[in-house]
Amino acid sequence: MVERAGTGVLTAERAGPTARVEEHHAPRSFLGRYVFSTDHKVIGLQYLLTAMLMALVGGALAVMIRYQLAWPEKTVVTPETYLALVTMHGTIMVFFVVSLALVSGFGNFLIPLHIGARDMAYPFLNMLSFWTVVPGCLLMLAAFFVEGGAAAAGWTAYPPLSALKEAVPGSGLGQTLWLLAMALFIASFTMGGLNYITTILNCRAKGMTLMRMPLTVWMFFVSAVLGVLAFPPLTAAALMLLGDRHLGTSFFLPGGLVFGEEVLAHEGGTPLLFQHLFWFLGHPEVYVIVLPAIGIAFDVIATHARRPPFGYRISVYATLLIAFLSMIVWGHHMYVSGMNPLVGEYFSIATVSITAPFSVLGINLIGSLWRGQIRFTTPMYFALGIISVIGTGGLGGLYLGTSTTDVYFHDSYFVVGHFHLMIGVVTLMGTFAGCYQWFPKMFGRLMNERLGKLHFWLTFVPMMAVFVLMHYQGLSGMLRRYYDHSLFEFQTAGRALNKPITYFALLAVGGQLVFLVNFFWSARRGVRASENPWEGASMEWNTASPAPHGNFGPEDPVARRGPYEYAPQDSHQEYLPQWTA
């Protein structure tokens, strides 16, 4: 019998081969099953649904931003409200949509299933981490309703703007709520990260060596390590900023700040310190959310191209190298901040060196199609789309990582287009690929393929159009975070693209409704899925659809080979599941 130890550890390996999961272990009350659940699959879904709700808000904000930019003369928002829209859209999308859905949602849902564990290492901590982020979401949303409005200093929250209520209306209570919500998010994310690391290192099924783990699990592992290392400096920065705002400290505020004719009492700090702390997190965060999407692409491609990923081990090594490099390149966000140019050159050299391991991942993704037997299912559509988006947006990074050209592109729409492609479209498409792929394990049904493919076209085409057009705006010199671009003559050329971008953006947002309809309709009415509808070879297909409490039935699963034994060399079978003898 499997015992929950004091820490709540529940592992297949430790429980031994005679372990049995008895039915009565599954909680029966509604609260226990669906609200305060410690089951990693329920928690994963809770994260996913929370992220969907937040995405509705983030998407609505995007529509309002695009409306203002396309029709500034028919404006319905004030400049300060516009800045609040931009700030909250960025924060909500990066942290409360993409991070929650992809990293917290799929990380929780997939890791135990993939490695043959019965749950996460710390189920209670897992539940706690979800219930920590919920008040974070509520605080973030509450900021819209307080005096002065929501935070308006940008998602980067650079002081002095974010530190002083004199600087911008949103820097009142709205900014305080923003900081508290971020602190809760970070606390939740750190709990989740520690749980991932422990689970992956300690709870793998018998025979599941590290190099037999699916690439998705590797990517979640690296992402969790990065998150745990990179987030604490931002926590410190948030606390210091709260101190500057409310306790009269001056970590980020130098002497002699003048607003109107009033000289503030702060003295001795520097705004640059915050930028270093912010980007020490901010850059690794990019990889925290991009790597899992790439991992999902690898797994989806392997399943539907019916062949192992090209260069599995090399991809693992490349990912580790990317993770290391991502921790030492944060300064490339600060080339024009007055940083010593020699330091800038160092950051530039280090930054563009990431393109080497990153293109290895790109080559391996494409190579994973080589001599395959591609089945064009919906998840495969999204995975192939990810290759194209990475091959477009990734190269744009060179223009920004090269310090010389960044002087021109910094804070222009080129940046906006670039990061939306990489941490917006790639991550969203990774999330969608994951939804279509593992929906059977969530609800025991398949998502509708026709609606799924329609969703792909309504995602890929308009989103690429929006963000590639923004690159052209950046080339023409158009600057970001502008309420209205019509006051500057040099922005005339870029401004001409604002309306087309808005039309495409509306299409992209509308296209997501197809997904929502498909998701909720298929959860109840979709075609019933067998245990292994995609003929997948990795461990999660070795259980019922939907996966039951405890994941794997009475016998502990054993990994007898790698997760990608498609077209095996010494067998006549089309694929060899990881779990069969």
- Cα-Cα-Cα-Cα dihedral sign, residues 440, 445, 450, 451: negative
SS3 289: helix
Q: Write down the residue that tokens 């808005």 correspond to.
A: 502
* Interface segment toward another protein; rule CB under 8 A; list 7-15, 92-100, 101-109, 409-417: 409-417
Nearest approach in angstroms of CB 317 to another protein is 9
Structure-block tokens of residue 571 = 């067998």
Nearest approach in angstroms of CB 406 to another protein is 9
Count of residues in contact with another protein, rule CB under 8 A: 125
- Cβ count near 94 (within 10 Å): 20
CB nearer another protein, residue 284 or residue 372: 372
Instruction: Tell me: does residue 481 bind another protein (CB under 8 A).
Output: yes
The site map against another protein for 167-186 (x = CB under 8 A) is xxx-----------------
β pairing state of 262-263 and 258-259: antiparallel
CB nearer another protein, residue 7 or residue 388: 388
Of 27, 271, 444, 548, the one binding another protein (CB under 8 A) is: 271
CA 169/CA 172 separation, integer angstroms = 6
What is the helix (H) or strand (E) element at residue 499, kind and residue range? helix 498-525
- Name the nearest CA neighbour of 482 among 85, 157, 133: 85
CA 423/CA 90 separation, integer angstroms = 11
Report the site for another protein in 94-113 (rule: CB under 8 A).
none
Nearest approach in angstroms of CB 391 to another protein is 4
Nearest approach in angstroms of CB 184 to another protein is 25
CA 473/CA 96 separation, integer angstroms = 28
Nearest approach in angstroms of CB 461 to another protein is 8
Report the site for another protein in 24-83 (rule: CB under 8 A).
78-80, 83
Instruction: Tell me: does residue 149 bind another protein (CB under 8 A).
Output: no
* Interface segment toward another protein; rule CB under 8 A; list 91-99, 180-188, 285-293, 338-346: 338-346
CB nearer another protein, residue 387 or residue 509: 387
Task: State yes or no: cis peptide before 546, omega within 30 of 0.
Answer: yes
**How crowded is the C-beta side of 40, counted as CA atoms within 13 Å?**
30
Report the site for another protein in 238-267 (rule: CB under 8 A).
253-261, 263
Of 1, 31, 487, 581, the one binding another protein (CB under 8 A) is: 487
Nearest approach in angstroms of CB 79 to another protein is 4
Structure-block tokens of residue 212 = 């037999």
Instruction: Tell me: does residue 89 bind another protein (CB under 8 A).
Output: no
Of 410, 420, 445, 495, the one binding another protein (CB under 8 A) is: 410
Of 336, 513, 516, 517, the one binding another protein (CB under 8 A) is: 336
The site map against another protein for 205-244 (x = CB under 8 A) is ----------------------------------------
Of 16, 341, 510, 554, the one binding another protein (CB under 8 A) is: 341
Instruction: Tell me: does residue 460 bind another protein (CB under 8 A).
Output: yes
CA 103/CA 465 separation, integer angstroms = 26
Of 359, 503, 507, 523, the one binding another protein (CB under 8 A) is: 359
Report the site for another protein in 387-406 (rule: CB under 8 A).
387-388, 391-392, 395-396, 398-399, 401-405
Phi-psi region of 444 (alpha: psi -120 to 50; beta: other; left: phi over 0): left
- Nearby residues of 476 by Cβ (< 8 Å), 6 or more positions away: 491, 493, 494
SS3 412: strand
Instruction: Tell me: does residue 140 bind another protein (CB under 8 A).
Output: no
Of 294, 384, 422, 435, the one binding another protein (CB under 8 A) is: 384
Of 187, 197, 468, 507, the one binding another protein (CB under 8 A) is: 468
Report the site for another protein in 290-319 (rule: CB under 8 A).
304-308, 310-311, 313-314, 318
Distances (CA, A) of 500 to 354, 416, 449, 494: 33, 16, 30, 11
In contact, 96 and 58? CB cutoff 8 Å: yes
488-490-496-502 Cα dihedral, nearest 10 degrees:
-60
CA 336/CA 403 separation, integer angstroms = 9
* Interface segment toward another protein; rule CB under 8 A; list 132-140, 156-164, 173-181, 188-196: 156-164
CA 544/CA 339 separation, integer angstroms = 56
Instruction: Tell me: does residue 363 bind another protein (CB under 8 A).
Output: yes
Report the site for another protein in 525-564 (rule: CB under 8 A).
527, 529-530, 532-535
- Nearby residues of 261 by Cβ (< 8 Å), 6 or more positions away: none
Nearest approach in angstroms of CB 209 to another protein is 17
Amino acid letter, 105? G
In contact, 385 and 332? CB cutoff 8 Å: no
Of 3, 22, 23, 411, the one binding another protein (CB under 8 A) is: 411
Instruction: Tell me: does residue 7 bind another protein (CB under 8 A).
Output: no
Nearest approach in angstroms of CB 451 to another protein is 10
Instruction: Tell me: does residue 158 bind another protein (CB under 8 A).
Output: yes
Instruction: Tell me: does residue 273 bind another protein (CB under 8 A).
Output: no
* Interface segment toward another protein; rule CB under 8 A; list 25-33, 381-389, 424-432, 551-559: 381-389
CB nearer another protein, residue 14 or residue 375: 375
Nearest approach in angstroms of CB 336 to another protein is 5
Report the site for another protein in 420-459 (rule: CB under 8 A).
446, 448-450, 453
Instruction: Tell me: does residue 500 bind another protein (CB under 8 A).
Output: no
Radius of gyration of the chain (CA): 24
Let me know the angle formed at the C-alpha of 329 by 328 and 333, rounded to the nearest 5 degrees.
Answer: 145
Instruction: Tell me: does residue 360 bind another protein (CB under 8 A).
Output: yes
- Nearby residues of 429 by Cβ (< 8 Å), 6 or more positions away: 293, 382, 383, 385, 386, 389, 459, 460
- Using a 10 angstrom Cβ sphere, with 0-12 exposed, 13-18 middle and 19 or more buried, the burial of residue 258 is exposed
CB nearer another protein, residue 109 or residue 347: 347
- Using a 10 angstrom Cβ sphere, with 0-12 exposed, 13-18 middle and 19 or more buried, the burial of residue 223 is buried
Number of residues that make up the chain: 581
